[in-house]
Structures are given as C-alpha cells and as structure tokens.
C-alpha cells in the first residue's frame, strides 16, 4: 500500500488565496475526526456558494480522553492551519473542542469562530414547550455539562436530562443506520427519558445525525408522542449564514472552487467512512501535519 504523503500548501497557493476578496474566502471547518462532515453537509445546503476547507485531526482522535490543556493546544494548531488557508470564518464542529476551547480560540482571532453547542442549545430552548429538554452525546460531552449550562443560561426554567450514548459513534461509522442492533441500542439508551416529559432532544454529537431516523423513531416510541429532534449541525450552519450576512461576507458568486479536505492520518478510511456522513463522495483528501503550527 502506498504510504500517505504529508503535504504542506505551496506558498504560491496561499498568496493567491490571500489575494481573494473577503467574501470569496473559504469557510474553515474543524473536527477531531469524521463526524464534523455532518456539519459540512448542512453548511453546503444552507450556504451553497461557499467554499469549505475541512480539517479532521484523525491522528489524535478522540479528544474526549485528553486534558483541557491538550484539547486547547490541539484545537489551536488545527485552527492555525485553517488560517493559513485564509478562511473568513472557523466552525469548530466538535462538541468536545466547542465545550473546552471555543472561548479560548474565539478571543485569539479576528475572524468569527463558532461552535456547535450554542446554536443547538438555542434551537432547543426556542422549540421546547414543556421546558424539559433531553441531551444525548458522548460520555465526555455529557460529563462537561456544556449543554446544560448553555440551555439554562438561555432560560433558567429549562430542566435538562442528559444521557451518554457512546455506542452510537461506532454504530454510525459502521453505517448501521436502522440495523436491528441500532434500534436495540437506541431503545436501551433512550428509555431513560420515559418519565421525564421532555418534548425536545438535542443530538449532542456530530456522528448522531446519520442515525437521526432511528433516534427519532425510538424517542417518539419511548415518549408516546412526537419529540423535536435538534441537529446541532443544521443550527450551526444557520448561525454561520446569519453571521456572514451581517458581516457582508456571504459569497454570492455562482461559480465555486471545489471544497478541500485535509486529515492528519488515515485518508483512505476518512474517504470511505466520510461518504456516509457527507452524503456524497469525499474527494481529494490530503494528509497534513498540524503539530508544527504555532512553533
């Protein structure tokens, strides 16, 4: 098997990028791995004229097992890589990095930097009628209480019920969208909400949207009624559009250069699994070393 080649962007290419008008510059999207492609998918739908530079830090995933200091360092290196491509906005499409590093990063850069937790929480706060909201995510995200704090900062009367659903990540990457195993695991996880009277459920992990059909069917069955399912990727894309419009940075050109995808390891696996998350082929994946950024 031919080894992946670590490539750095040629200086001439970067000079060309920096010569672009502000609105023509790309959006940078960063995730610790593959799941952030569900955010890319929604950005592509809501902002079809925008170019995207995506970086998945697949060499160092998962971030959830790392210290806050390490997560901030990894996130900073990845964001510096995106800045080298002259992006006009950075979306941190990783719940762990959003919880730990968003404010740290946003205060360092002049361009807008947004995460996935605040938009998802805002949508849930506006949807709920019972003021009882469920959150599902990885163990690390749930333990961070980031969604709980954000929701209650928006409305102190909201009661939050959280459930870690860590097995949804490998199930999503297997592509078992409505497999019998998926439905049984979903039932096991989501039955804890039976007596909570939630009317809204936030998918607090970027892997979960590709399992949305199984999650929706299961939570509706458990609750005995329809429950609003919040996809933070959709809400983040909406917020990105609003910020770019307000800043006069929307790209209104009908011609768009291809999106670019970078990873720090395993590009072939990223292309194979990523197609399920993006909903289309993930072409031209390049392997890069971001550990040198900021040195």
For residues 168-196, b (16+ Cβ closer than 10 Å) or e, as one string? Answer: bbebbbeebeeeeebbebbeebbeebeeb
Which position among 76, 87, 94, 169 bears the catalytic label?
94
Query: Smallest Cα–Cα separation from 282: which of 266, 96, 213?
Result: 266
Given the residues 44, 205, 219, 290, the one annotated as active site: 205
Residue 44 near residue 52, CB atoms below 8 Å: yes
> Given its phi and psi angles, is residue 215 left (phi above 0), alpha (psi -120 to 50 degrees) or beta?
alpha
Contacts of 142 (CB under 8 A, 6+ apart): 135, 136, 162, 163, 164, 204
CA gap 21, 188 in Å, rounded: 52
Spatial CA neighbour of 209 closest among 42, 68, 66, 25: 42
**Are 72 and 102 contacting, i.e. CB atoms less than 8 angstroms apart?**
no
Residue 205 appears among annotated catalytic residues = yes
CA atoms of 265 and 225, how far apart (whole Å):
43
Tell how many helices (H) and how many strands (E) occur in the chain: 12, 10
* Active centre residues (catalytic): 94, 205
């Amino acid at each position: 098997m031919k080894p992946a080649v670590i490539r750095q962007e040629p200086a001439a290419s970067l000079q060309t990028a920096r010569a672009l008008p502000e609105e023509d510059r790309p959006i940078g999207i960063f995730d610790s791995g593959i799941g952030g492609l569900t955010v890319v998918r929604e950005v592509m739908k809501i902002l079809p004229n925008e170019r995207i530079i995506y970086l998945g830090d697949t060499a160092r995933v998962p971030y959830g097992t790392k210290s806050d200091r390490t997560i901030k360092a990894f996130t900073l290196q990845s964001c510096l890589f995106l800045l080298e491509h002259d992006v006009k906005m950075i979306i941190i499409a990783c719940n762990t990095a959003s919880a730990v590093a968003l404010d740290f990063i946003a205060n360092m850069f002049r361009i807008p930097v947004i995460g996935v937790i605040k938009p998802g929480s805002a949508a849930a706060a506006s949807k709920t009628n019972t003021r009882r909201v469920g959150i599902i995510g990885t163990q690390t995200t749930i333990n961070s209480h980031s969604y709980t704090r954000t929701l209650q900062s928006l409305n102190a009367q909201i009661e939050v019920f959280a459930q870690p659903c860590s097995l949804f990540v490998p199930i999503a990457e297997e592509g078992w969208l409505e497999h019998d195993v998926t439905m049984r695991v979903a039932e096991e996880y989501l039955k804890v909400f039976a007596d909570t009277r939630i009317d809204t459920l936030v998918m607090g992990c970027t892997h979960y949207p590709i399992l949305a059909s199984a999650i929706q069917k299961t939570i509706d069955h458990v609750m005995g009624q329809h429950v609003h399912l919040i996809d933070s990727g959709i809400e983040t894309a909406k917020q990105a559009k609003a910020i770019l419009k307000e800043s006069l940075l929307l790209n209104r050109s009908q011609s768009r250069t291809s999106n670019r995808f970078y990873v720090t390891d395993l590009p072939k696996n990223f292309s194979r699994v990523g197609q399920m998350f993006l909903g289309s082929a993930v072409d031209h994946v390049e392997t890069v070393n971001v550990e040198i950024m900021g040195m």
